[in-house]
Amino acid sequence: MAETRSCDAELTAAFPSIVQRDTTQREFSHFLVSKDLLPAITRYLHTRQGLHGRLTLLWAVDNRPARNTYGLHYLFTLEPSHRWVLLSTELAGDDRLFPSITPHIHAAQWYEREIRDMFGLIPQGHPDLRRLVRHEHWPKGTHPLKKDFPWDHILGRQHGEHRFRRIEGEGVFEVPVGPIHAGIIEPGHFRFSVAGEPIMQLELHHFWTHRGVEKLFEQQPLAAAVPLAERISGDTTIGHSLAYCQAVESLLHLEIPRRGRYLRSLFLELERLHNHLGDVGAICNDTAYALPHAHCSRMKEQMMQLNDRLTGSRFLRSVNRVGGVALDLTAAQLVEIVAELDRIEQDFSELESIIAHNASLIDRLETTGVLTERTAWDHAVVGVVGRASGLDQDLRRDRPFAAYDELPVKVVNYRYGDVRARMRVRMDEIHESMRLIREIRLKVPQGPVAVESSRKAQAGEWALSAVEGWRGEILYMVMAGENGTIQRCKVRDPSFVNWPAIQWAVIGNIIPDFPLINKSFNLSYAGNDL
C-alpha cells in the first residue's frame, strides 16, 4: 500500500494537472489526464526507473447517448509491483483527434489502429495509419463500435487494395503465404521479403475472420453473455469465460465461494494441460519428428476425454457462470483426475527424456526464431512467449485470481527466446499444472460452488478482469448499460499483443523454418480477429 501511495504521489508531483479518481477496484490507480499530456505521461510511466510500466491494454468507449464524448483508456502494469495504473481522457463533441503514443511505445501500434478502424478516432503522429481490422473492401466511414452503427447492418463492398511495406533492391523478392492455408487453421496472410534464403522482413495481414464480437456483447444482458465469451477462441473456453465472469462479478459485488474458486483454478489448469501437451507434440512434428507428436496427441486425447467425463464437454464449455461454476465435482471424480494425471505424467516424463537426447531435434530448435528480451518487452509480449524470452510474469502469481492466492505458482522462464525455450516453458508448465491440480484436490474446501446476485449494476459502472490463460494474459473490461445490459465489452486475447512480435522473431531465419517458429508461438486467429 505504501508503494502504491508513493507511485501515485510521484505521478501527481510530475504532472500536477492530472486528477486522481476514486475507484472501487483497489488493484489499480486511476487518473484523468488531458489528451495533450498523453505522450509525456505514458512515456514517463514506460521508461521511468522504478515504474517500468508495460502497456497492458488500450481501449476506447463511445459514451453516447449519455454524453457526447469518446473515452480513451490506457492501462499500464508497473513491473516491480505488478500494480495497474489507468490513464483516461475524453474527446468532446466532434473532436476525433488524439496524439499517438506509438512512436515511443511500440506496443500501442495495433491498439491505436484498431481504435481508428472501430471508432473513427485518429491517432495523430502514428507511423502507420493503414487499415488493420477494416479490410480495404469495407466502405469508407464504417466504424462498427460507434453507438449509432446498427449491430445487424449488412455491409456493402468497395474496391480497395492493401498496401504492403516493400523492401526494394536487387535480388529482393516477396513470398506471399495465405490467407488460405493447407489444413484446418483459420486464415491469416504472411508476406515475406527475402534476399537469397534469410528473411529480411515479415508483414502480417490478419483479421480475415472478424466476427463483430465486441458489438455482439452490446446486445447481451450481463449474466447471459458467458457463452459468447467461451467462443472468443474455442481452445480457451475456461480462460475467456472466467475473465468475463470475474468482471461481471466485480460489477455485481459478488463474493465467490471458496470451493467455486478452487474448481475454477482446477478447470483452468486442465485447459492449460491439454493445450500444452498438443503444442509440444506439434512443435516436434514440424521438425518431422513424428514419435513425440503421436504420443502427445494420445495424451492430449486422454485429457480431453477426461474433460468430457467431468463436464460433458471436451473443451470445458458451460463450466463457468456468473457467480461461480455451474457444476460440482465429487471426491471420486477428484481421485479420478489425479490418477489420470499420474499415468500421463509418467508417460510424459519418459517422452521428455527421449526429446532431450535427440541431438538433431535440439539442433533444429536452438537459435531458431529468437525473440530477444528487449523486443519482447518493447511489444509487451505475454504468456508462454514472454516467459521464454526472459519476462518474469504470470498473473496467477502476480495478480492472483480464482484460488491462486492460496495456491502458490512456480513461474518458469528462460532468457534465450528461441523455439526450444518456448517448448521448455510448456513442458515445465505441464508438470506445474499437474502439481497444482494435486494440491487443489487436497485443499479444496466443502461448500457451495456458486452464489446468486440480487444487485443490479449501475449504468456506466465498469470493471477490469485479468486471467492467465494457457497462452497468456487475457483481459476484459466490461461496462454496464441500462437495465442490466452491456454498454461496452473490451476483450484482449494474448494473441493480439503477441502476433506483432512474431514479425521480429523470424528475421534472419529461412522460410522453411517459419512453420516451426509459428507453431512455437501458437497464436489464435479467432482470438485476435474479434
- The residue that leads in pLDDT, 6 or 191, is 191
- The pLDDT tens digits for 170-184 are 889 999 998 988 777
Cell of residue 245, nine digits: 465472469
pLDDT digits 0-9 by tens, 436-479: 999 999 999 999 999 998 788 988 999 999 999 999 999 999 99
pLDDT for the residue 50:
80
Global confidence as pTM: 0.95
What percent of the chain is modeled with pLDDT above 70? 98
Of the ranges 3-17, 22-36, 229-243, the best mean pLDDT one:
229-243
- Sequence-distant (6+) residues with CB within 8 A of 436 are 265, 269, 407, 409
Residue-wise pLDDT tens digits, 288-303: 999 999 999 999 999 9
Is residue 215 within 8 Å of residue 152, measured between CB atoms?
no
Model pLDDT for residues 394-412, shown as the tens digit of each residue: 999 999 999 999 999 999 9
Cα distance between residue 388 and residue 425, in whole Å: 6
Domain architecture of the chain: domains with CATH: 2-124 (3.30.460.80), 213-521 (1.10.645.10)
pLDDT for position 93: 77
Amino acid occupying residue 175: V
Bridge pairing between strands 189-195 and 172-177 = antiparallel
pLDDT band at 24 (very low <50, low <70, confident <90, very high): low
Confidence tier at 9 by pLDDT (50, 70, 90)? confident
Residue 25 has pLDDT above 90, yes or no: no
Q: Is residue 5 predicted with pLDDT exceeding 70?
A: no
